[in-house]
Structure 1
Amino acid sequence: MADSFPQEDVSRRILRSETVLVLALSLGASAVSALISFVGSLTKPGALKEQAATLNSSYAPGRPWLDLAWQLFGIATALVPVALVAHLLIREGAGLRVIGFDRTKPRSDLRRGVLIAAGIGSAGLAFYLLARAAGFNLTVVPESLPAVWWKYPVLILSALQNSVVEEVIVVGYLLRRLGQLGWTPTAALVASSVLRGSYHLYQGIGGLIGNMVMGVVFVLLYRRWGRVGPLVVAHALLDIGAFVGYALLAGKVGWLPTP
């Protein structure tokens, strides 16, 4: 006679497996990649700040149309795990609205997102500069794209993609699933924040710590408002500022590190 299991145990096993698979296809895999990259940087001759971590680079140098095709392909495929999360939430009868990623409060989401970005942006930049000066961080190069007509639109699309993927998965989806699995609020906050920091480890210890702190703030704000919308707006503004700002200022101001 086959063993029987309580329905609750079966459901928890399914949710646990689902969560692991979603992370393995997205930010969990990025965390492992970042760890390997950081080990490579530590074992490479030279100080960390003398090495560069490039975020948006060319896929086909000298071939702008092919490069553009690869850029758009990379952005689109990076969003597939978000589509998977949306599908899984719809199957349980909830949808993305349950995590506050919808169009019901656009003005509120925008206003809150702008305030978050304004508060975190300058502090984050200052922390990065200090961490790099102390030798704990690589030199982050937000973009090294060629000077072509699609450069800035692609940087903005890349920033939007980053913000949607990270906030929907590492905040909205992960916290919901960990709560359903019986994790305490504190344990879920730690897991979400550590995950956010870990997939930024390729930047160095400063990237790890800075993003963990940001993760704590974002989780607390999400629990206060019940929406990832403001977090997506804030993250998008921060990344757009970093990508476009670097493109405009690199080599023109003395305080911005370049390779």
Structure 2
Amino acid sequence: METTTNARTGIRTEIALVLGVSLGASAVYSAVSLLAKLTAGKPLADQHATLNASQAPGRPWLDLTYQLLGIAFAVLPALFAVHLLRRDDPQALRVERRPLFDTLTGAGLAALIGIPGLVLYVGARALGLNASVIPAALPDMWWTVPVLILAAVQNAILEEVVVVGYLLTRLRQLHVRLPVALAASALLRGSYHLYQGFGAFVGNAIMGLVFGLVFTRTRRVWPLIIAHSVLDIVAFVGWTLGGNKLLS
């Protein structure tokens, strides 16, 4: 892609708009949420951050409708980002089928991130640097586990496409140095998890650095999506099926 002055200005504007309607906005809200927790008059460790909450308590079919609509619309910024990249360069993201490589790499990344991430969460909670995270608070319905799986995959697609695949590709086109680009991607990932606390910020920023390095070497987002999906499915479904008794 040509990187004249006008082209670079256009890329910068595009990045601001894409992030502004997706995870950049989430980062701002997350920072405000953390500020609200810190000024709530009680320790951060005594507060909660709830993911996947019911949208219509006592009305399961309406709740299901809201959940599915939220998942569907949350994926659109990722699809828009892919459209923008591939409009300029059809080879911007590698999409050829490599199921074995993607699956094995994704599983390895999930194991690499998952166990240290859990240790970091427990440590941050002990130090009072993180709220208690409730991964799922949906009613006990036939659709609860399928919805949580879909929510996990949606999170993975949105975050890995926008924060890694899209952002790192555009920053490379702007000739931003790789360490700076990786840091920007990682800090953005950490920032939209600030509503959970400082431990979540650090843990997700580290995850962002690892995922960013993998992407720069492979130019593939599928392993990242698989790894992220596995991590969230284990957290969401595991909590719902009884993991809350171990970590609450």
Q: TM-score range by the shorter chain?
A: over 0.9
- The letter of the residue matching 1:24 is G
Match of 1:17 in 2: 13
Matched, 1:190 2:169: no
Matched, 1:176 2:169: yes
SS class of match (1:140): strand
CA deviations over 1:70-91 (Å, ceiling 9, x no partner): 0000001101101211221232
Match of 1:43 in 2: 39
Matched, 1:81 2:77: yes
Note the C-alpha offset of 1:69: 0.4
- Return the alpha-carbon distance in structure 2 between the equivalents of residues 245 and 251 of structure 1: 8
Aligned to 2:223, which of 222, 227, 230? 230
SS class of match (1:79): helix
**Residues 143 and 90 of structure 1: CA distance in aligned 2, closer, same or farther (over 3 Å):** same
- The letter of the residue matching 1:121 is G
Matched, 1:68 2:61: no
- Return the alpha-carbon distance in structure 1 between the equivalents of residues 70 and 41 of structure 2: 31
Gaps of 5+ in 1: 1-5
SS class of match (2:245): coil
- Return the alpha-carbon distance in structure 2 between the equivalents of residues 215 and 8 of structure 1: 30
Q: Is the CA contact 2:82–2:161 (under 8 Å) kept in the aligned structure 1?
A: no
CA deviations over 1:79-114 (Å, ceiling 9, x no partner): 1101211221232132xx5323x3511111011101
SS class of match (1:53): strand
Q: Is the CA contact 2:3–2:174 (under 8 Å) kept in the aligned structure 1?
A: no
- Return the alpha-carbon distance in structure 2 between the equivalents of residues 80 and 170 of structure 1: 14
SS class of match (1:182): coil
Give the alignment's TM-score, normalised by structure 2.
0.96
Note the C-alpha offset of 1:250: 4.1
Match of 1:221 in 2: 214
- The letter of the residue matching 1:88 is L
Match of 1:93 in 2: 89
Q: Percent identity?
A: 50
SS class of match (2:8): helix
- Return the alpha-carbon distance in structure 1 between the equivalents of residues 178 and 218 of structure 2: 15
Match of 1:142 in 2: 135
Aligned to 1:121, which of 94, 114, 122? 114
Q: Is the CA contact 2:53–2:136 (under 8 Å) kept in the aligned structure 1?
A: yes
Matched, 1:210 2:220: no
Give the alignment's TM-score, normalised by structure 1.
0.92
Q: Is the CA contact 2:74–2:158 (under 8 Å) kept in the aligned structure 1?
A: yes
**Residues 45 and 7 of structure 1: CA distance in aligned 2, closer, same or farther (over 3 Å):** closer
Q: What is the root-mean-square deviation in Å for CA atoms of aligned residues?
A: 1.4
Matched, 1:167 2:160: yes
Note the C-alpha offset of 1:182: 1.8
